[in-house]
Every structure is written in C-alpha cells, then in structure tokens.
Amino acid sequence: MVSLLADFAAAVLRHPDRVAIVDGKGRETSFAQLETRAEGFARAWQARGVGKGDRVLLAMPLDADLYASLAALWSLGATVVLPEPAMGLAGLRHAAKVAEATAFCSAGVFGVLQFLLPELWRLRRLRPNVSAGKRLDLPAPQDGDIALISFTSGTSGAPKAIPRSHGFLSAQHQAIAPMLQSAAAERDLVAFPVFVLINIASGQTSVLPSWKMSKLERLAPEVLAGWIKQQNVNRALIPPALCEKLVRAGVPANLHTVFTGGGPVFPDILEKLAADRPGLSIVCVYGSTEAEPIAHLDAAEIEPKDHAQMVAGQGLLVGAPVPGLQVRIVGDEIQVAGAHVNGGYLDPRHDAENKIHEGDIIWHRTGDAGRFDDQGRLWLLGRTGSQVPLAGGPVYPFAIEVAVHSWAGVTQCAVMSVGKTACLVIEGDARHLPEWRQKAIGMGIPDVRHLTKIPMDRRHASKIDRKALGRLLAS
C-alpha cells in the first residue's frame, strides 16, 4: 500500500539531514529527527495501550512534534482527531464529543484543558514523551482505515466531522504533489496543515507561521515579510488575506512562487503581486474542506480576454480541474467525485445534504455555483442561493464583486440582499464613496454602504462571513 507513512519513510532515506520543519520560533527539525521523535512517541504510547480502534484528540502547538505525533499514532493504527482551530475551546469540546475520542494527547499549556473541560475528563491522557523501550511490530494501516477526523469550518452550522482514510490521504498526496513538485530543495512557508503533510511525504522543507492563523487581522505585513526573509523562504502557500499583507510589505526578493487559496483569489491581488514583483510565479488553488484540490490556475495563463470577462461579470476564473477528478455542473452547482473527495461524514445524517450516490460514484455538492468555459476551465459565480435581485433578474455576487475589487480605494467588498434590494458593502477609503455610489447605480445597485471592517471567516480570513455581515446590515 502506498501511504503517507511509506512516503515519509522514503523521504527520510533520501534526505535524512534535510530540514523537514521549521517551527514558528525558528527551531529546525530534520527528517531523521522527525522520524526519531515519531518512533519514540509510538513506543511510549504503545506501552500505554494505544492502538487500532483508538481515536486520539490532539491539542498541541503547531510544531514538529505535532506532525511526529500524527506519524506515531498512524503507525499504531490509531485515528487522529483534529479540532477546528478557529473555534477555540468550543471546537475542542465539539470534536471530543462528536468523534467519540478515547484519548487526549496534549503538549505544553494545552494539557491543563483536560482538567477544565468535562468532555475530556474520561479520556486517557497522553503527552509527547519519548520512550526507549521496544515496540511491537504492527501491520501497516490499510487503505480503508480511518487516519484522520477533521472538521468543516462551521460557517453554515455546527462543524461536520470528516473521516479521512489512509487511502484518501494518499490520493490527496497524488493530487497535490505534482502541483508542488520541484527538482530543487525548496523552503516553503506553509499556512495550510494538509500541505505540510504533502511536503513531509515529498521530502521538502515546511516553514510554519510565526503567528496564529486564527488572528490574521493582528498580523503586521512587516512581520510576514520579515519571517519570509529571515527563513529564506522560496515559496509561500498562503491564503489571499496574507497575499494582501505581502503586497503592503513588499514581496521579498528570495520568494519566487506563491500558491494561494482558501478563499476567492480576485484579479486585483494577482495584479498587485505581479506589479510589486515582476517574474513572481503565482498559482491559484480552488478546493474545499471535503475536496482539496479541485482546480488550479497559473496566473501567467490568464489572458486579457479572461480578465475582461471577469470584470464584465462572467465570474471568477479558477482554472482546469486537476487530473483524476470528475467535475460537473448541476443547476449551477459544482459537484465533484474522485479518490481525494470525501465520500461521507462521520455522522451519516449529514450525507443527505451534501452527497449524491449514483452507482459506485459519490458526488460531493460543493455549494459553489460555477460554469465551464469552452476550454474546459472552471469559473466561480458565488455560493448557491446567494444571488442578489437586480432589475434584469437575480445575479450571483462574483459577477459584481470581481469588478468592484478593481475600483480605486476598495479593500474588500460584498454584494448582499437586504430585504428585496441589492446592497453593495465596501471596506476601504471612504473618500471614494461618491464615486462608488455612481458606479453602483450604473450596475443597478441603489444601496451602497461603507464599513470599516467587513467580517471574514475565522479560518483563513479570506472569505466573507455573510451571516455575520447580514446581521450587521440588519442592525
């Protein structure tokens, strides 16, 4: 069986002394050291009786020991449960209950949580301690064994638990690795945990953020650029919110590639990055928690006619679907199926809303509206059901928002329905408000409002939190 564990072991053999992970404090861990830590944890936890059938809830700092713990638990046949970090303690309690965790593995100050949260009291307590004892050899995990339980962001209700098998993670590696493939030894700033796993399996170095991803609004652009320079980062895998900060600070000379996703990547940010650093390679990645990746787009392939179509209201270009993935449009909705598409939720009751079974194929409903162009590329229109009423009929948000992002003084924008009227909400330099209103009237939007800050999602700060924004507009 090809698995992330096998790929990790192969990476250790190829590059034992290469740095695998640089944590947020600048501490480096080589591939050989990472393997040694993982083996030590596995010996200690096997002695504690951890094995197949256990579901271990992790609460650890974002560092090398977190990833060593994943490898150790997988080698024992256990399932790792990762709470939604953006939810804080509520996410931890939700994960313990929903995933029916049997053990709680914590490091540092997170250990005290087991004494404070009733949901954790009954769980076996584990710490990342290294044991020198012997470990019993165990059979490798099978494709269908659950490796990981993670959660949706919860923007449309309580976070849903998503089981990911070892076969799924391997298929995801096969889908992502070609996009990240490089003959050189890269140093990647990685803001997405799944890409750290891919880098470990591929033998590349991952530099972790030196800030809390859940507190992106507090991150100074100079801190981001300074961390990239200090760690000699060559590539950045970051959400659009961090791309904006990178532009404000200036793209460091040592950075040659940016991969961005986790939210809509509008043309204006691509133009700003390219203008600040000519020759910078920029790749936009589209996916969802249940299916990552779905499509990707090299910004250099965006032609003038593509840009004209986006500004004219034809949607947001996200590129060609990745190989091996089936994609279709049903009633405007993008639906996907494939080996790296989650086939169901931990609670089967959630499947009815998002999964369609057709013979042996399980289609995932993304909830995103889209279309294909004559080149087979995918364009996003917005979330299904988010159309706003205009004189000519309902219009999806991206038809307007892509254009508004190009207006002078605009930092962020959203088109919403307020009652039966379309409302354009803009964050940015309010001195341009008269100009914005005039342009909006030309689009058939009578209501334009300025906000100091438009609420964004808690995970990557790159998607409009439309529920929160709706509450603000209604107040």
In a domain, 257, yes or no: yes
Sign of CA dihedral 346, 348, 353, 357: positive
**CA–CA dist 219, 221 (Å, integer):** 6
pLDDT at 157: 64
pLDDT tier, 359 (very low <50, low <70, confident <90, very high otherwise): very high
468 and 342 together in one domain: no
What average pLDDT does this structure show over 21-37? Answer: 97
The DSSP code sequence of 202-234 is: HT-EEEPPSS-GGGGGG--HHHHHHHHHHTT-S
231 and 267 together in one domain: yes
440 and 296 together in one domain: no
pLDDT at 253: 95
Last residue of a domain, which of 340, 357, 383?
A: 383
pLDDT at 156 over 60: no
Beta carbons of 399 and 315 less than 8 angstroms apart: yes
Last residue of a domain, which of 110, 134, 164?
A: 164
pLDDT at 222 over 60: yes
Bigger pLDDT: 392 vs 422: 422
In a domain, 456, yes or no: yes
353 and 316 together in one domain: yes
217 and 365 together in one domain: yes
Q: Which residue has the tokens 């990745």?
A: 322
What average pLDDT does this structure show over 312-333? Answer: 96
In a domain, 173, yes or no: no
DSSP state of 406: T
Find how far residue 17's CA is from the centre of its chain: 29
pLDDT at 158 over 50: yes
- Render pLDDT for 202-211 as a digit per residue (tens, 0 to 9): 999 999 999 9
Beta carbons of 82 and 108 less than 8 angstroms apart: no
- H helix or E strand, kind and range, residue 468: helix 466-474
In a domain, 175, yes or no: no
CATH number of the domain within which 93 lies: 3.40.50.980
Count the domains in the chain. Answer: 3
pLDDT at 4 over 60: yes
261 and 308 together in one domain: yes
pLDDT at 154: 60
Beta carbons of 203 and 16 less than 8 angstroms apart: no
DSSP state of 430: G
Last residue of a domain, which of 320, 352, 383?
A: 383
In a domain, 192, yes or no: no
What average pLDDT does this structure show over 136-148? Answer: 89
In a domain, 15, yes or no: no
What is the chain's Cα-based Rg?
Answer: 23
In a domain, 191, yes or no: no
pLDDT at 174: 93
243 and 373 together in one domain: yes
pLDDT at 162: 96
What average pLDDT does this structure show over 114-119? Answer: 93
Beta carbons of 239 and 462 less than 8 angstroms apart: yes
339 and 255 together in one domain: yes
46 and 159 together in one domain: yes
**CA–CA dist 145, 164 (Å, integer):** 8
pLDDT at 155: 57
CATH number of the domain within which 466 lies: 3.30.300.30
367 and 256 together in one domain: yes
Residues of the domain holding 103: 29-164
Task: Tell me the pTM.
Answer: 0.94
What average pLDDT does this structure show over 128-154? Answer: 86
405 and 378 together in one domain: no
353 and 398 together in one domain: no
**CA–CA dist 12, 189 (Å, integer):** 20
For the ranges 134-143, 177-186, 226-235, 385-394, the lowest mean pLDDT is seen at 134-143
Q: What is the mean pLDDT of the chain?
A: 94
What average pLDDT does this structure show over 271-287? Answer: 96
In a domain, 443, yes or no: yes
pLDDT at 1 over 50: no
